[in-house]
Chains A and B, each alone.
Chain A
Amino acid sequence: MNFYEMPCGCKFEVLDDKVKDNDGLPSLKFDFYKIQNCSGVWELLSRGDTKGVFQLESQLGQEWSEKLKPKNIDEIAMLTSIIRPGTLEGEIDGVSMTQCFVDRKHGRRESIPPHPAMKNILEETYNIGCFQEQSIQIVKDVAGFSEGEAELMRKAIGKKDVKKMAELKPKFIQGCINNGLNKEDGEEIFSIIQSSERYSFNRSHATIYSYLTYITAYIKYHFPELFFTAWLHLSKEKIDPKAERKDLINDAKRFNVNIFPPTLEFLSKGFGTEFFNKGKNIYFGLIDIKEIGYKNISSLIKSIKELELRYKKNVSKVRWFDFLCNIGIDINKSVLNNLILVGCIPGSESRKTKIVEYKMYKTLNDKEQLWLKNNCDKFNSLLEALKTYINISRNDGGPYNIKSKEKIELIIKSLSSNSYNLNDDPSWISVNETNLMGVSLSSHILEDYDNLGDTSCKELYDGKGSGNVSCVISEVKTTVTKKGKNPGQEMCFLKIEDQTAVIDAVCFPDIYKKNKDLIFEGSVVIIGLKRSSGKSMQVTSLTRS
């Protein structure tokens, strides 16, 4: 049995030695029942890199995973239990129960049990009763309840059955007295257990789910290309698929996974309709482009197969003119238009040139388009072909009448001299791709600007302490300060991005006030950043790029 060892030390059984798709990996066996304890995975959870990780995908999950830094399955179970509304809204020592839990875990607050009799049971969860099972253990140990009676108590807590709890109370208090506590102690402990109904969670449920959390984090850490391919494939199920894809693609960049624009290259082999990966590279799915659905794809696949058969080469190697004459005749106008705009149509001509020529082509009638399809091999371009076609007599298949001839003449004149530059500029490409796919993959708006920064978003994300980044502000969330000398002052949370990554930053009132006119979505700026804590970056300066 051969094993492949990852850099982190995890080993996987090799199923097939042959390295496929340039990713440097042979085929490996993934056994759900033999998941290893990997320090890399715990580090991923501790960084809050939990986009797509079960139960911790949301902003809340990411934030508190980073704060708590779970180190085992039990701690994941505690984490998922304490980020529920009950614990977030409940208070201990002037902070939320969730924050108190985290502080106690990291030794920043003293961990005091709510009652000394509960210490042994609550110690492992830093004296905060986050599990219903802890309440069961307390009623057994402190009040001498039997297993069955404790289960009744648990059900009453779980269902928030006030009536049942009231029925059990006298028995509970008597049980406490029998075990050497006084009546007041009994009342106090009962009250604590009763209030736990608002926030405690089922431990067995939390634990098994936490196992799934670890497995998804494990896959993300070891096989990020497969992880992101799967999630990108599912992005269309989300309320805002474009926003979801953008988040996933930005996250993938941090894992050095490359997302490539959609391609027709593998369509005839059955790949490309949906997101798919070839080794470390993920290709954007064709049906996730705006206005391209399954119905249009099937006719596209059929046409491409015919084209490849005719020219005996892959569609990616076919000339633009041949593609136009063979595929343009069959495909829906907006589909081909959008495929041109996202850059997956073959040929070295610019996207703007293809748009213009396709528009001219669509003004031709069926007979004219068919003539082009049958004769495109003889010419290098639409202009060249039409210059020949216009001189062919009607009997030999040329223009049908004077009106047709005039129309062709106009097209020839138009193609012969264009009144504007048909080169594609980066921001034009970027804006069109963002509009059609939710994200720009071939170009970034920053390519139109000089890079005057001294670091990148990825370097900062990976741990660099400070620097100036040339970036675009992609999200702004304004709020007001709640604490400090002057509460009620405006500040904001930003998402900023460059070609390497997207990071979060906080802009405090003093900087926000001075630079309010620069802080808006789409603003291209040079931002000075310094690390405040963990992943958080603080804005120190802002200038227009």
Chain B
Amino acid sequence: MINNNTIIVYDMETTSANPHTTQPIQLAAVAIHSQKLEIIPGSEFESLIKPIEDEEEQSKLGLGVIEDEALRVNGKNIEELRYAPPLKIVWDQFVQYIDNYNFRKNIYTAPILAGYNIIGFDNIILNRIAGPHGWNYGPWDNKKNTNSLFSQVYKIDLLDTAFMWFSNCAEPSKLKLTSLLEYLGMSTTGSHDALIDVKNTANLVCKFLRLHRELASRVKWNPNV
């Protein structure tokens, strides 16, 4: 099986740690070339997002409060965020950005989503932005009850990959992104900024994919052949 779909690594910084009630305040992404397994030069996407502060509006969308602790961890302040574009604008630009990498404009050639702990966190928020139970900005597949921006079959959650490799090893002691980066000798400067996190994650994705492809050709998968 040969994958020709571009891999998009993304990350969101948010107003709290609850993916079901939080709202994004920064969205970043980079694209990985499916054959070269390198970040495509010039493929960065990054924007701050103005959060909804009005309580009535928050309530309509089922949003929780903006937590000061979350802003502190992300290194953002509310005054700076008030000048950022609203989610609608950023999301429309993100959709156009992703669409640029879906060359045949169908669900089978849609980019593959990748990131760190995206299944447990970022993808939930992404589907709330696109879907009818949240912001409803689309694109949404009603039949499959998921967004139709990305591949509906494949996704790469690096946390799961790290678990597969290191779940029975003394080191790294934790599987946080920063712990993994440190263990692999990669820089952790600027962590919790979405674009820096995304580039670090993308480099890790490339590293693991190359390793897997190299090993896959050497393993005797079927002992009967």
Binding site for B on A (CB under 8 A): 352, 355-356, 359, 410, 413-414, 417-421, 423, 425, 427-428, 431-432, 435, 448-449, 516-517, 520-524
Q: A419-B46, A522-B4 are in contact. Are A435 and B93 (CB under 8 A)?
A: no
Write the B38-82 contact mask toward A (1 if CB under 8 angstroms, else 0).
Answer: 001111111100000000000000000000000000000000000
| B90 proximity list for chain A (CB < 8 A) | 419
Is residue B96 contacting chain A, with contact meaning CB distance below 8 A? yes
> Which one, B35, B97, B104, contacts A524 given CB within 8 A?
B35
Docked-complex contact A417 and B85, CB < 8 angstroms = yes
Docked-complex contact B35 and A522, CB < 8 angstroms = yes
Among B4, B96, B97, the most chain A Cβ lie within 10 Å of the Cβ of B96
Is residue B167 contacting chain A, with contact meaning CB distance below 8 A? no
Docked-complex contact A425 and B2, CB < 8 angstroms = no
| Apart from the given pairs A419-B94, A425-B42, A449-B36, 4 other A-B contacts in the complex at a CB distance below 8 Å | A410-B88, A419-B97, A428-B100, A521-B2
Docked-complex contact B103 and A522, CB < 8 angstroms = no
Residue on A with the closest CB to B217?
Answer: A517
| B27 proximity list for chain A (CB < 8 A) | 419
Q: How far is the CB of B39 from chain A (nearest CB, A)?
A: 12
Top 10 A-B pairs, shortest CB-CB distance: A419-B47, A420-B45, A517-B217, A421-B42, A431-B103, A414-B89, A420-B97, A419-B93, A520-B2, A435-B103
> Which one, B36, B41, B104, B213, contacts A517 given CB within 8 A?
B213
In the complex, A516 Cα to B2 Cα: how many Å?
12
Q: How far is the CB of A479 from chain B (nearest CB, A)?
A: 19
Write the B98-117 contact mask toward A (1 if CB under 8 angstroms, else 0).
Answer: 00100110000000000000
Docked-complex contact B4 and A418, CB < 8 angstroms = no
Is residue B171 contacting chain A, with contact meaning CB distance below 8 A? no
Residue on A with the closest CB to B89?
Answer: A414
Docked-complex contact A432 and B42, CB < 8 angstroms = no
| B33 proximity list for chain A (CB < 8 A) | 427, 448
In the complex, A431 Cα to B43 Cα: how many Å?
16
| B216 proximity list for chain A (CB < 8 A) | 517
> Which one, B2, B42, B45, contacts A419 given CB within 8 A?
B45
Binding site for A on B (CB under 8 A): 2, 4, 27, 33, 35-36, 40-47, 85-86, 88-90, 92-94, 96-97, 100, 103-104, 213, 216-217
Q: A355-B96, A517-B217, A522-B4 are in contact. Are A435 and B104 (CB under 8 A)?
A: yes
Q: A414-B93, A420-B93, A421-B44 are in contact. Are A523 and B35 (CB under 8 A)?
A: yes
| A419 proximity list for chain B (CB < 8 A) | 27, 45-47, 90, 93-94, 97
Docked-complex contact B85 and A413, CB < 8 angstroms = yes
In the complex, A449 Cα to B38 Cα: how many Å?
12
| B103 proximity list for chain A (CB < 8 A) | 431-432, 435
| B93 proximity list for chain A (CB < 8 A) | 356, 414, 418-420
Residue on B with the closest CB to A414?
Answer: B89
> Which one, B46, B85, B217, contacts A516 given CB within 8 A?
B217
Q: A421-B44, A524-B35 are in contact. Are A413 and B100 (CB under 8 A)?
A: no
In the complex, A291 Cα to B46 Cα: how many Å?
33
| A359 proximity list for chain B (CB < 8 A) | 96
| A410 proximity list for chain B (CB < 8 A) | 86, 88-89
> Which one, A355, A417, A418, A423, contacts B42 given CB within 8 A?
A423
Q: A419-B94, A428-B100, A522-B35 are in contact. Are A413 and B40 (CB under 8 A)?
A: no
In the complex, A418 Cα to B90 Cα: how many Å?
9
In the complex, A381 Cα to B197 Cα: how many Å?
35
Residue on A with the closest CB to B90?
Answer: A419
Q: How far is the CB of A434 from chain B (nearest CB, A)?
A: 8
